[in-house]
Chain A
Amino acid sequence: KAGVTQTPRYLIKTRGQQVTLSCSPISGHRSVSWYQQTPGQGLQFLFEYFSETQRNKGNFPGRFSGRQFSNSRSEMNVSTLELGDSALYLCASSTGTSGIQETQYFGPGTRLLVL
């Protein structure tokens, strides 16, 4: 089975711009979660989508948004980028049937640099 894929792998943007990241889950997985990973804060949960609906949400500002399509693929959008948004953004998928405690299968991440 193919793993979780994320595109693009690297991005450089400037402050004030917006960015869209994409995630394709493992085939058959219906839950997609997004995380931000930085050296200072570690791995922080952004949100989880299941069956095209946001099911859980972390403590991030409204500039961070996401959506999920009928084929379970997901996108994450960050508007009005700030320098502090520079991070590795990880997507993880799971079957979604048992909630957030299910094993998460992570993609390789998208490394975003905001200048």
Chain B
Amino acid sequence: QKEVEQDPGPLSVPEGAIVSLNCTYSNSAFQYFMWYRQYSRKGPELLMYTYSSGNKEDGRFTAQVDKSSKYISLFIRDSQPSDSATYLCAMSGAQKLVFGQGTRLTINP
């Protein structure tokens, strides 16, 4: 069993929809939770960074962490075609950093 599980998709939604991306994990030592966005032919770029449980909002993006369920989510409101990319969750703790496999998202105009 992988330490971090992420549905690879692909996920295709119409423009303006709310998108929900999720990851589950098994390692209780993880304290830091991140979402990266990766466009085709580019390296991943950090989108959201949260510490421990709770919600964090940045514009159209909301990151949610539920440590009791070992479950994290990224919500994208009013999705745009420019949001089409692969989204990777990542988590770290105890000197370990593990990425999810990435979810490929397409926003259709």
Contacts and interface: CB of A to CB of B under 8 A. Distances in A.
Interface of A: 4, 35, 41-45, 56, 90, 92, 99-101, 103-109
Shortest Cβ-Cβ A-B pairs, 5 listed: A106-B43, A42-B101, A101-B92, A43-B99, A101-B32
Interface of B: 6, 31-32, 34, 36, 41-46, 49, 88, 92-93, 95-102
* Majority secondary structure of chain B interface residues (helix, strand, loop or mixed): strand
Most buried by B among A44, A99, A101, A103: A101
A43 B102 contact: yes
B12 to A, nearest CB: 18
A30 to B, nearest CB: 17
A101 B29 CA distance: 12
B102 A99 contact: no
Contacts of A92: 43
Most buried by B among A44, A99, A104, A106: A104
Given A42-B99, A43-B102, A100 B92 contact: yes
A59 B97 CA distance: 13
